[in-house]
Amino acid sequence: MSREIVEEESPSLTRVVSPENRSLGALRSVRWRVSLSILPPSPSVDDLRRETADSRRRYAGLRRRLLVDPHVPKDGGSNSPDLVMDNPLSQNPDSTWGRFFRNAELEKMVDKDLSRLYPEHGSYFQALGCQGMLRRILLLWCLRHPECGYRQGMHEVLAPLLYVLHVDVERLSEVRKIHKDHFIDKFDGLSFEENDVAYNFDFKKFLDSMEDEVGSQGNSKKVRSLDELDPEIQTIKLLTDAYGVEGELGVVLSEKFMEHDAYCMFEALMSGARGSVAMADFFAPFPAAESYSGLPPVIEASTALYHLLSIVDSSLHSHLVELGVEPQYFALRWLRVLFGREFSLNDLLVVWDEILTADNSKLDKVSGNEEISGFKILDSHRGALIVAMAVSMILYVRSSLLATENATTCLQRLLNFPENINLKKLIAKAKSLQVLALDSKISSSLSTFDVAYSRSKSAVSGRNLSSGPISPNTPLSVVADSYWEEKWRVLHKAEEPRQVDSLDKLAPSGKRRWSEKVRLVLSRTESDPSAARAGKYKKGHRSSVRRSLLEDLSQQLGLEEDTEAGDCFDVSNIEDRHSVEGQVEGQDDTSIASICTAEERCDSGSGASVSEESSSIFSDPASSGSITNDHENDTEKSSVASNLSSDGNDDRHQSDLEDSPLPVSSPPEDALLSYSEENESSGKMVSASKESRHLSGRFQWLLKFGWNNVSQEASDKGVSNETAKSANRDSKNNAADSSTAAGASRPTSQRDVVDQNVMGSLKNLGQSMLEHIQVIESVFQQDRVQVGSLDNLSKNNIVGKGQVTAMTALKELRKISNLLSET
């Protein structure tokens, strides 16, 4: 037990306590249970005890019913079970063994998360007993709510609840020690010492003890009757008296029943306890049944968040929107775990105090709008406070957010909330915003907001989601679920190494060096076509390095043109080119452009960057192409690749989150055969490369295909539309940059030599592209055959319109490759 965590009677606590609960002041668990409507708000101890006992009975019954151990014979084994049904190999779903195996699978999933819970407070949370309790609670809840299942993050919602109960039990034992005489069993006014084996009425001893009580100067207070006790202690005594109402089951602070109480609290929090805000909704990937916007609740809440922010601080809001920072990137984690990962445990408890004190009942909509047109989360005080809290947190880091021009840094800031914060100020601000949020004019303006919101992708994606898949198990839903968090986590990680990897140093490992070379080379290559147009050297001092690297590149290109590896090179070149270009040109340093390194671009996040870069590559080498043409391609390709990234994320999430194995299962030949598989494998290979850190030829091949094929999904992937559009915008910025930079040319003498090499490599590229286009077209023919057989997520929407758009995309590609070859 980590005692240091226990002493956290923060001053804000007293502020929070409402008058009628003053006696419960320090007992957080009881207060929370009251707020969560598990215990009645009445001050009567008896009522509290009764309710406690009832809730515990319910849990115990549930546990007995659902936790199955077929090893243990039931009821003494008197009735022999029907062995035909109840043997371990039985296919019967009702059999004990079947249930046992199913539970075991759920448990495995839960354990994956539990092992990573609060490692900094590991002495409590990683203890076997605690883990066992958490596991059982989560398992039972999921069995009770099979429609939700277990999602990552639920364990973080549960952990503070259990912790709070634990703290109170500790407090109880402290109090017990101090006021020993009041907590000892007293029969007939006599006190039984624990170590009295045989009760011996020793009159002398009795007198002595009386004297002791009178004369003791020790740490026990000199009070006789209960009434003279501090009301808090008094309450504790009454609440924990084993002889009170409902006996031991009613002892409100009980170590024995911690699991039961924690389950009740968890259940109440998740289901919203007949109120408006239910945590379980935040884990649901589908829009709620009566939702107006058709968005999954967490997306809707994030939109509400941004809406409130736009009202409170429109400059910050517009800044974030410009950078392409979608609210759900960070809000998903904030909301799902109720800020559990943003604050330290003690701070979190204070925050939750506030949130749970807020009333959760549905507010009546007084406004004249007939339809249920509002943010569901703002339907209650608690929901409004949650949203306000989030906005207040954003405002807290306002200055650092406004300072950056880079979405990744913004997200970094938001996802790594600063450690030492003035919590009181934060909460006070949140409360003031809560009032604002509840203003009916705001909360019911969802419809107008959607229209005003330049990117109405949310609505689009929502509609797609709701109208799309037939079965609820399609990966499409999983995308919304995990996509945002994973994507930005990945981006965030990718960002750091990139900064380390400066262009100037050739990294140690061979692979890295090569890729660096390529990168540099490609940046040169990249800039040269534009140099051909108007010449530009952003970083002239690198030119000598680049030239040598460029020679390497062209050698490699020449050597391996015909082999698959050559294709890989091409692909990697193209990709590296993209990344480099992003680095070179990205003054803006948009989030997507900045993400690429040879390795990290393999991240799912970099899918978007690939799009970015892919658009760039087509913009630049197409020297005669107009800028507008480039932009079209940009749009397509960026949406394309963001789709790719979403695929990647999707599949990545499906695979083990902890240790994603190398899932590149399909050999390149297969990729040719089924293009949908490409998407899958491209997604997978994205994760694979992240893990393995080397670019297998297969990967690049597939990536290239994925990259090309993903263009077909451009119109259909509603979910990734947002990134697409933001990527689009960013790529527009990039292209604009390149054109402006092109204007400010800084030619050097070495350029001519390099030019020839560049042209050569471009020609090669053009040719290989043509080859690939032909391959894709052949795939299409085969693809028609493959349509019905695979249930890949791309399949759901793509097939019909996909082919059309794919063909147009291919035509574009052809044009461009022709241009390339001609140069």
Partner 1 sequence: MLVPGKIQHIICTGNLCIKEVQDYLKTLCPDLHITRGEYDEETRYPETKTLTIGQFKLGLCHGHQVIPWGDLDSLAMLQRQLDVDILVTGHTHQFTAYKHEGGVVINPGSATGAYSSITYDVNPSFVLMDIDGLRVVVYVYELIDGEVKVDKIDFKKTTTTTHSAH
Per-residue contact string for residues 15-54; x = within reach of partner 1 by CB under 8 A? ----------------------------------------
* Complex with partner 1: residue 89 or 451, whichever CB lies closer: 89
The answer to whether 595 and 495 are in contact (CB under 8 A) is: yes
Calculate the alpha carbon distances from 204 to 191, 207, 208, 546, 812 in Å: 14, 5, 6, 100, 105
Please state the closest distance from residue 252 (CB atom) to partner 1, in A. Answer: 37
* Complex with partner 1: residue 100 or 453, whichever CB lies closer: 100
Within 98-117, the residues that bind partner 1 by CB under 8 A are 101
The answer to whether 391 and 307 are in contact (CB under 8 A) is: no
The answer to whether 114 and 155 are in contact (CB under 8 A) is: yes
Pairwise CA distance, residues 82 & 681, whole Å? 46
Calculate the alpha carbon distances from 452 to 390, 448, 506, 557 in Å: 22, 6, 48, 49
- ∠ CA(464), CA(672), CA(649), 5° rounding? 40
Within 171-210, the residues that bind partner 1 by CB under 8 A are none
Place of tokens 């670019």: 695
Please state the closest distance from residue 88 (CB atom) to partner 1, in A. Answer: 6
Cα dihedral across residues 656, 659, 661, 662: positive or negative: positive
Pick the closest to residue 612 from 595, 597, 624 (CA basis): 595
Please state the closest distance from residue 339 (CB atom) to partner 1, in A. Answer: 39
CA atoms within 13 A on the CB side of 492: 17
Please state the closest distance from residue 139 (CB atom) to partner 1, in A. Answer: 20
Please state the closest distance from residue 149 (CB atom) to partner 1, in A. Answer: 21
Pick the closest to residue 615 from 715, 703, 501, 730 (CA basis): 730
The neighbouring-strand residues paired with 186 are: 191
Region from 84-92, 254-262, 366-374, 581-589 binding partner 1, contact rule CB under 8 A:
84-92
Cα dihedral across residues 75, 80, 84, 90: positive or negative: positive
The answer to the question of residue 83 lying near partner 1 (CB under 8 A) is yes
Please state the closest distance from residue 112 (CB atom) to partner 1, in A. Answer: 18
Region from 83-91, 408-416, 525-533, 806-814 binding partner 1, contact rule CB under 8 A:
83-91
> Could you tell me how many residues make up the chain?
823
Pairwise CA distance, residues 651 & 686, whole Å? 9
Structure tokens, 790:
């695979």
Pairwise CA distance, residues 108 & 206, whole Å? 57
The answer to the question of residue 84 lying near partner 1 (CB under 8 A) is yes
Please state the closest distance from residue 71 (CB atom) to partner 1, in A. Answer: 5
Cα dihedral across residues 726, 728, 731, 737: positive or negative: negative
Pick the closest to residue 226 from 172, 179, 174 (CA basis): 179
Region from 76-84, 165-173, 398-406, 442-450 binding partner 1, contact rule CB under 8 A:
76-84
Pick the closest to residue 377 from 368, 389, 367 (CA basis): 389
Structure tokens, 535:
């010449």
Please state the closest distance from residue 474 (CB atom) to partner 1, in A. Answer: 25
Pairwise CA distance, residues 420 & 668, whole Å? 52
Pick the closest to residue 677 from 791, 517, 544 (CA basis): 791
Pick the closest to residue 164 from 50, 253, 294, 71 (CA basis): 253
Per-residue contact string for residues 116-145; x = within reach of partner 1 by CB under 8 A? ------------------------------
Place of tokens 């030239």: 547
Within 315-374, the residues that bind partner 1 by CB under 8 A are none
Number of residues located near partner 1, criterion CB under 8 A: 10
Q: Pick from 71, 441, 541, 784 the residue near partner 1 by CB under 8 A.
A: 71
Place of tokens 């590559």: 617
Residue 654, Cβ density class (10 Å: 0-12 exposed, 13-18 middle, ≥19 buried): middle
* Complex with partner 1: residue 100 or 780, whichever CB lies closer: 100
Region from 78-86, 350-358, 476-484, 675-683 binding partner 1, contact rule CB under 8 A:
78-86
Please state the closest distance from residue 89 (CB atom) to partner 1, in A. Answer: 4
* Complex with partner 1: residue 86 or 213, whichever CB lies closer: 86
Please state the closest distance from residue 100 (CB atom) to partner 1, in A. Answer: 11
* Complex with partner 1: residue 69 or 228, whichever CB lies closer: 69
Region from 89-97, 407-415, 669-677, 791-799 binding partner 1, contact rule CB under 8 A:
89-97
Region from 87-95, 182-190, 431-439, 660-668 binding partner 1, contact rule CB under 8 A:
87-95
* Complex with partner 1: residue 11 or 77, whichever CB lies closer: 77
Region from 79-87, 131-139, 210-218, 731-739 binding partner 1, contact rule CB under 8 A:
79-87
* Complex with partner 1: residue 82 or 212, whichever CB lies closer: 82
Cα dihedral across residues 277, 280, 285, 289: positive or negative: negative
The answer to the question of residue 67 lying near partner 1 (CB under 8 A) is no
* Complex with partner 1: residue 101 or 199, whichever CB lies closer: 101
Pairwise CA distance, residues 97 & 86, whole Å? 6
Please state the closest distance from residue 502 (CB atom) to partner 1, in A. Answer: 48
Pick the closest to residue 637 from 459, 815, 819, 805 (CA basis): 805
* Complex with partner 1: residue 97 or 780, whichever CB lies closer: 97
Q: Pick from 89, 214, 451, 500 the residue near partner 1 by CB under 8 A.
A: 89
The answer to whether 124 and 130 are in contact (CB under 8 A) is: yes
* Complex with partner 1: residue 87 or 131, whichever CB lies closer: 87
Cα dihedral across residues 355, 360, 365, 370: positive or negative: positive
The answer to whether 428 and 392 are in contact (CB under 8 A) is: no
Dihedral in degrees, nearest 10, Cα atoms 239, 243, 245, 250: 60
* Complex with partner 1: residue 97 or 453, whichever CB lies closer: 97
Pairwise CA distance, residues 163 & 126, whole Å? 12
Q: Pick from 12, 87, 369, 474 the residue near partner 1 by CB under 8 A.
A: 87
* Complex with partner 1: residue 86 or 181, whichever CB lies closer: 86
Q: Pick from 4, 75, 76, 91 the residue near partner 1 by CB under 8 A.
A: 91
* Complex with partner 1: residue 112 or 511, whichever CB lies closer: 112
Region from 36-44, 88-96, 192-200, 378-386 binding partner 1, contact rule CB under 8 A:
88-96
Please state the closest distance from residue 102 (CB atom) to partner 1, in A. Answer: 12
Q: Pick from 88, 129, 558, 743 the residue near partner 1 by CB under 8 A.
A: 88
Region from 38-46, 77-85, 286-294, 715-723 binding partner 1, contact rule CB under 8 A:
77-85
Per-residue contact string for residues 717-756; x = within reach of partner 1 by CB under 8 A? ----------------------------------------
Please state the closest distance from residue 104 (CB atom) to partner 1, in A. Answer: 10
Please state the closest distance from residue 90 (CB atom) to partner 1, in A. Answer: 8
* Complex with partner 1: residue 69 or 822, whichever CB lies closer: 69
Please state the closest distance from residue 607 (CB atom) to partner 1, in A. Answer: 33
Please state the closest distance from residue 111 (CB atom) to partner 1, in A. Answer: 17
Pairwise CA distance, residues 306 & 390, whole Å? 10
Please state the closest distance from residue 77 (CB atom) to partner 1, in A. Answer: 9
DSSP H helices in 445-506: 446-452, 457-467, 475-500
The answer to the question of residue 214 lying near partner 1 (CB under 8 A) is no
* Complex with partner 1: residue 104 or 452, whichever CB lies closer: 104
Place of tokens 């604002």: 436
Place of tokens 């203003």: 439
Residue ranges binding partner 1 (CB under 8 A): 71, 80, 83-84, 87-91, 101
